[in-house]
Amino acid sequence: MVWLHDTLRGGFEVKLEGQEMYGYRSTIERDMVKLYGSLSEKDRRRYAAVEAEKLGHGGVQYIADLFGCDPDTIRHGAADIELLPQDDAEGRVRKKGGPQAS
């Protein structure tokens, strides 16, 4: 069993036993979900990718379940990060709610 804990910030705690991951404390998950919901679409997928990478094996599915997004969205975010600092979509943010009927 491995425990990761950021004691300086009281930040994250991940419990791993073999290949089974238990996840973050519920208070941390709640804050992560609130932050995720406040971000633009592009920043959400990038944030999800960073969180999934921190967790290693099983991280993509864990974060996808936590944020209610598709695992492919997280992989897309990881690909976005690989291209940084170049960002073809810099300054562009889609409006929430999709296209409006005319």
Give, in degrees to the nearest 5, the angle at Cα 12 between 67 and 7.
165
pLDDT value at position 2? 42
In the chain, what is the straight-line distance between the N-terminal and C-terminal CA atoms, in Å? 57
**In which element (H, E) is residue 20 found?**
strand 20-21
Reduced to 3 states, what is the DSSP secondary structure of residue 2? strand
pLDDT value at position 47? 97
Per-10-residue mean pLDDT of the chain, 102 residues long, equals 44 53 82 96 95 90 95 96 78 59 58
Distance CA 19, CA 15 (A): 10
